[in-house]
Structure 1
Amino acid sequence: MRFPKNITSLFYGVIGILWLSIHFFYYYKFGVRPVPDTTYYYLTADTILGLENFDLSHYKWYFSYGLFLSVFRYLQLAEYWIIGIQLCISLLGMLSLMKTVYLITQSHAGSLITAFFYLGCFKLFIWNFIISTESLFISSVIISFYLWISYHYKPSTIKLYLTLVISLFTCFLRPTGIGLLIGIVTYGISRINPKLSWSSISLLCILGISLLTLVNYMLTTFQMIDMEYAQGHLIHQPKFESLIITPPTDLYIPSGSHSPLIRIILFYLYNPLYGLQLAFSKLLLFTFNIRPYFSVWNNLFSITSLSTLYFLGIYGILHRSIPSPIKFLGLSFILFQGITVMLTIADVDGRFILPVIPVMAVFGGIGGSTFLMKKYKNG
């Protein structure tokens, strides 16, 4: 569905005003906000520049953000410059999100629905004023998706190299960036060999083992089983009893001599009911972004808006001819984020769901435009 130019310009103007209004509000209310992890990101940046000798055993998974900050540290620029660039990249991300849906649907309606869904999750944008990985990670995920979908419809060697560089940068902004790598792998396999064959199955097995090895290595710096699993914590250091599940008296804790993945597998094998209760409780917190210490209004808004987004997203996936590689790219990323929370821990402030929202908004925009086109045709 394409709108006349004047109507399209009006809608884009409204979106621009909304984006600016949200950011002006957050700037005047909170300003620039460092967080406890900001110190470690700066230490990572200074280590990259050779100014510090910080142990990167855990923060190597945030290497790209350290690299990003190292530019500002090297030029001795104030923190406002960091925020300014994060804001510019965030705006580029929103435009890329709208362009992504337009490439798939050739519909202005889909682009606008996606933008309104994205802007509707306004708490997401507060991270643009925080010196942490979230803002750049969310924006980079969107831009990476746009580049892959642009490459899908108009492939070129230069575009492929650019897409790979941006995607690699995104993968090392946060540990869950591995989800993008998994999405790219499934996209590539589906594009090269769309029909399931023994060769594609063999390739999937090889890549699967490689990715599991990478995930196992990443988990060596986390201590979930000895802390959160053993204590029944759904989030880190919960202050509400509803966020703690009482462990069984005969709880089995696998030996620390095993690798992290083997320990997780053994934990679930020996504690199946307790393990599933932990996993699905964390998934519920993640999926609907609800917490007992959030206001009732906040929780109701999250449940309503995200349920609508999921419904339209599933509708779009089921009722529109989206190329399979694009579906695999998006769904693999979303599933990995959810599984990661199930196997690790939910976050205190609801930020783990944020990178999923724009990807789901793409499918939601497609679903919304499909619904409108059917209504329009039926008169």
Structure 2
Amino acid sequence: MLAQAWFLWRQQGPHFANDSARYLQYAAGIAERGYFEPGHNLRYVLYPLFQSLWLKLGLGWWGIVAGQMAIAGLATRALYAGVRRLTPGRPGAAALATLLFIAWPDIQVFNVFLLTESLFISLVALSFWAFTRMRRGSGRDWALLLLLLLLTALARPNGFLVGLAAGLAGLDALRRQRNRRAWRAALLLLVLAAPLLWQALNHQLETYYLMDTYQRGELIFRSELWKVQAATPLDMPPPGTGPVVRVLYFAAHNPVYLGKLMLGKLFVFISYLKPHYSLAHRALGVLVLWPAYWLAARATRLRSIWRPARMFLAGVFLLQAAIVMLTVDDWDVRFLAPVLSVVFVLASLKLMASLQGKEG
């Protein structure tokens, strides 16, 4: 709470940022008329709904931020509990991961912003906690996990990635069972659901103008500072095609250019060296995050840690990175901050395992 109070004091109260206006307008429509705006804003529906509760109570921006801070406190406690469940009798990794989650300035600051990131960051941590309960989960634990995954999917357009990571970890667990009936049944369900999944993906991409950002060579949305220039004219998809087909067409006809674009976005996403950052901000990323990435990657091979949890944590980060590579990054850490918790958890698990001689 001290860290959040410090950011609240530093920002001089609830912080109104670039996208705050549309969320608050949406929330006011829900609170006053029960009106849920269609289109692109519907992909963020959980946050305006959350805001509308506080507006309805007459508590305004301060109520919204107080709610975000309270949920962030629960998420912090859940993160600690989730890591402890993975390392019973060894609290070191849980303490370190929680300390990094609390102390990292680009995580806690979002709790005083009127943006979706606060809820999304907290829901990722809460989903991790609920996932760790699945090792010996009851029906109530399954219901809790599914509820949190649904809420996370409604928080942001890319929120589905947490549920997808959980699903991939579950599929891996089924594949490794001696009796593979459940594994084959799950594959059959995926095949049958493929048309629905295709429609869902098209729906998610429908309001994003990816071809425009591809043509402009943007690594950071609406930024001219870092760009990729095409050596030859780009072969653009014909009009009338769906969003997914457009991306596939562009990839097939401009593979080298798109490859450079995607690698550039990946560098921007993970490097913490964005052109807007101060020298101190960049140094913090290099000195802390870069070693954390290396430790986290090595943690995925820790056999002493429950494999589905390792799969889930790695999946959340890798899927977010893939989404950024296919779309475009933002000028700040709004896309990285929500998944830093999984990096800190994995890195802490590896570091403590190394110090305690438990590499296997």
TM-score, normalised with respect to structure 1: 0.87
Alpha-carbon contact 1:127-1:134 (below 8 Å) kept: yes
Distance 1:259 1:265 in 2: 10
1:270-309 → structure 2 map (5 Å cutoff): 270-309=253-292
The equivalent of 1:28 in structure 2 is: 9
- Say yes or no: does 1:77 pair with 2:59: yes
Q: How many corresponding residue pairs?
A: 353
Give the secondary-structure state (helix, strand or coil) at the position aligned to 1:349.
coil
- Say yes or no: does 1:373 pair with 2:352: no
Alpha-carbon contact 2:300-2:311 (below 8 Å) kept: no
How far off is 1:264 after superposition?
A: 0.7
Describe the superposition over 1:169-192 as per-residue Cα deviations: whole angstroms up to 9, x where unpaired: 111100110101212222333344
2:234 corresponds to which letter in structure 1? L
* Structure 1 gap ranges (5+): 1-18
1:39 corresponds to which letter in structure 2? A
1:30 corresponds to which letter in structure 2? Q
Out of 131-140 and 299-308, give the one that drifted further.
299-308
How far off is 1:375 after superposition?
A: 8.3
1:102 corresponds to which letter in structure 2? R
The equivalent of 1:155 in structure 2 is: 137
The equivalent of 2:129 in structure 1 is: 146
How far off is 1:100 after superposition?
A: 0.9
2:223 corresponds to which letter in structure 1? P
How far off is 1:353 after superposition?
A: 0.6
How far off is 1:259 after superposition?
A: 0.7
1:38-117 → structure 2 map (5 Å cutoff): 38-49=20-31, 51=33, 55-106=37-88, 107-117=90-100
* Structure 2 gap ranges (5+): none
Distance 2:358 2:315 in 1: 31
1:102-141 → structure 2 map (5 Å cutoff): 102-106=84-88, 107-141=90-124
Alpha-carbon contact 2:251-2:258 (below 8 Å) kept: yes
How far off is 1:94 after superposition?
A: 1.2
- Say yes or no: does 1:213 pair with 2:199: yes
- Say yes or no: does 1:174 pair with 2:160: no
Give the secondary-structure state (helix, strand or coil) at the position aligned to 1:182.
helix
Give the secondary-structure state (helix, strand or coil) at the position aligned to 2:237.
coil
Distance 2:260 2:324 in 1: 13
Distance 1:284 1:303 in 2: 13
The equivalent of 1:238 in structure 2 is: 223
1:224 corresponds to which letter in structure 2? L
Counting aligned pairs with the same residue, the percent is 25
Alpha-carbon contact 1:61-1:172 (below 8 Å) kept: yes
Distance 1:308 1:147 in 2: 27
Alpha-carbon contact 1:101-1:365 (below 8 Å) kept: no
Distance 2:96 2:274 in 1: 27
The equivalent of 1:310 in structure 2 is: 293
Alpha-carbon contact 1:231-1:247 (below 8 Å) kept: no
The equivalent of 2:316 in structure 1 is: 333
1:218-233 → structure 2 map (5 Å cutoff): 218-225=204-211, 227-233=212-218
Distance 1:41 1:60 in 2: 10
Distance 1:61 1:237 in 2: 21
The 1:144/1:98 distance shift into structure 2, 3 A limit, reads same
Distance 1:270 1:153 in 2: 45
Give the secondary-structure state (helix, strand or coil) at the position aligned to 2:15.
coil
Out of 344-353 and 206-215, give the one that drifted further.
206-215
- Say yes or no: does 1:186 pair with 2:168: yes
Distance 2:325 2:172 in 1: 27
Distance 2:139 2:302 in 1: 32
The 1:313/1:121 distance shift into structure 2, 3 A limit, reads same
Alpha-carbon contact 2:124-2:339 (below 8 Å) kept: no
TM-score, normalised with respect to structure 2: 0.91
Out of 47-56 and 252-261, give the one that drifted further.
47-56
Alpha-carbon contact 2:218-2:224 (below 8 Å) kept: no
Distance 1:328 1:309 in 2: 17
Alpha-carbon contact 1:118-1:361 (below 8 Å) kept: yes
The 1:204/1:372 distance shift into structure 2, 3 A limit, reads farther
Alpha-carbon contact 1:128-1:135 (below 8 Å) kept: yes
Out of 122-131 and 195-204, give the one that drifted further.
195-204
How far off is 1:209 after superposition?
A: 5.6
Give the secondary-structure state (helix, strand or coil) at the position aligned to 1:287.
helix
Distance 2:210 2:93 in 1: 41
- Say yes or no: does 1:343 pair with 2:326: yes
